[in-house]
Amino acid sequence: MATQTRAGRKPYDHAPPPPTHVAVIMDGNGRWAENRGLQRLEGHRAGTRNIRRVIQAFAEHGVEYLTLYAFSTENWSRPPDEVDGLWRLLAEAVDREVQDLHANGVRLLHIGRKDRLARPLREAIENAIALTKDNRRITLCVALDYGGRVEIVDAVRRMLAAGIKPDDVTEQAIAAHLDTAGIPDPDLIIRTGGEMRLSNFLLWQTAYSEYYATDTGWPDFSEVEVQQALAAYAQRQRRFGGLDPSRR
């Protein structure tokens, strides 16, 4: 799947500019561990340890926004031990990584529900967001307890609460009430772990995103894989419903 080639087709003359925003569905941790005879949680541990090099790699390629899907609103339905273990590892990762992210010019943002995060984690995230707010090298947006549908429901609620009139309900107004307000739509969605689905990720924002899927599990998604995904993106032709640029 990662090797989807355009056999027999010429590369397009009009390569898109490099993506401004890449969003990653970090999947395949559990199978990565099971394939090695390890507990699923060991896969999540290896997964959280992979985040640092991937951020660095995307930053080096000039990507301005990187969104990482770390826990979905549906992931609560897993066995309690796995859910507890995941949150523990995610909280440890925030504590371990924040100073390094800050030193590397990373600005942190969060999308997703805040009300179900354990208070110490919520506070650690709030503090990290405040600490890194002026950093400009790359923006890292962490999707934690995130679901695309609940994000849209919450946006509609906020619009109604603000008294927005029917005529003022526009695409721009909806976008401005989503958790991602102010963040450009993702140009490229990467999914590791081999599945070909969105799993409730950025439903509104991905209307015209390019997709890239690889069988590689998230813990093994390396700098080389980052390069391969960006190279695949460079072969795409984005038309946004219009025509090939040579025929405009």
Active site residues: 27, 75
Q: Rounded distance, CA 79 to CA 48, Å?
A: 19
Size of the site for Mg ion (CB under 5 A): 1
Report the residue number whose CB is nearest to Mg ion: 27
Q: Give the nearer residue to Mg ion in terms of CB position, either 36 or 157.
A: 36
The DSSP code for 241 is: T
Report the residue number whose CB is nearest to ligand IPE: 30
Residues that bind ligand IPE (CB under 6 A): 25-31, 69-72, 75, 86, 193, 195, 197, 199
Contact 16, 238 (CB under 8 A): yes
72 binds, among Mg ion, ligand IPE, none (CB under 5 to 8 A by kind): ligand IPE
180 binds, among ligand IPE, Mg ion, none (CB under 5 to 8 A by kind): none
Q: Rounded distance, CA 156 to CA 18, Å?
A: 33
Contact 120, 91 (CB under 8 A): yes
H/E element holding 67?
A: strand 65-72
Q: Give the nearer residue to ligand IPE in terms of CB position, either 29 or 67.
A: 29
Q: How far is the CB of 46 from Mg ion (least distance, A)?
A: 14
Sequence-separated (6 or more) residues with CB below 8 Å from residue 3? none
183 binds, among Mg ion, ligand IPE, none (CB under 5 to 8 A by kind): none
Q: Give the nearer residue to Mg ion in terms of CB position, either 27 or 210.
A: 27
Contacting residue, 23, 27, 75, 230, with Mg ion by CB under 5 A: 27
Q: Hunting for tokens 């796995």 — which residue is that?
A: 82
Sequence-separated (6 or more) residues with CB below 8 Å from residue 33? 39, 40, 41, 42, 43, 44, 46
Does 145 bind Mg ion (CB under 5 A)? Our answer is no
Interface with Mg ion by CB under 5 A: which residues?
27
